[in-house]
Amino acid sequence: MNGSLHPHLKYVDIKLKRGPAGLGFNILGGVDQPCRMDDNGIYVSKIKEDGAAALDGRLREEDKIIAINGVSLENRTHREVVDLFRTAGENVELRVLKKSSFLTNGPADCPPEGQSSSMSSLGMLALFAGAVTIFVIAALYKRRK
């Protein structure tokens, strides 16, 4: 069923039956973990091969999930959405905004699967080590004069 407040946007209702491995996709986003600077919505980050979503074929990576079983995902945390998926039952209906209808200039700002949108601990450590090194070199240079 297509239709929305914005006629140029393509909404699709997708019904999936939960399989042994769940619904077969991963998500990113939420008000506490936005993966796009301009939007805190929930996005499909990965479609798992041979999962329910892959077998259905309509859900794609970077599609935006608007609702689960009629429950809006607007202004929800990532954990709230994960809990909604876990308790959604065997038959799940998704309202999805297709990627092509809202993204025209390249991919979403979502980080690759498994990475956080904030700087990693290793990156912070490297930055700190570099700053300490510069400080030590400057102090040694100053002492020589």
Same domain, 49 and 108: yes
74-79's contacts with Cβ under 8 Å and 24+ in sequence apart are: 74/41, 75/31, 75/40, 76/30, 76/31, 76/42, 77/30, 77/31, 77/32, 77/33, 78/27, 78/28, 78/29, 78/30, 78/32, 78/33, 78/42, 79/30, 79/32
Domain assignment present for residue 2? The answer is: no
Q: State residue 99's pLDDT score.
A: 82
pLDDT under 70: residue ranges of the chain: 1-7, 101-125, 145
Q: State residue 115's pLDDT score.
A: 44
Q: State residue 42's pLDDT score.
A: 96
N-term to C-term CA, the chain: 76
Q: State residue 122's pLDDT score.
A: 60
Q: Which pTM value belongs to this model?
A: 0.67
Q: State residue 30's pLDDT score.
A: 94
Strands 25-29, 71-72: pairing kind: unpaired
Question: 94 exposed, middle or buried (CB, 10 Å; 0-12, 13-18, 19+)?
Answer: buried
Q: Could you give the number of structural domains in the chain?
A: 2
Same domain, 105 and 124: no
Same domain, 81 and 26: yes
Q: State residue 140's pLDDT score.
A: 84
Same domain, 120 and 74: no
Same domain, 133 and 72: no
Same domain, 107 and 126: no
Same domain, 93 and 133: no
Same domain, 27 and 61: yes
Bridge partners for 14 per DSSP: 94
Same domain, 40 and 104: yes
Q: Which residue segment(s) compose the domain that 85 sits in? A: 11-114
Same domain, 141 and 86: no
Same domain, 42 and 64: yes
d(CA 118, CA 137): 29
Report the CATH number that the domain containing residue 39 is assigned in CATH.
2.30.42.10
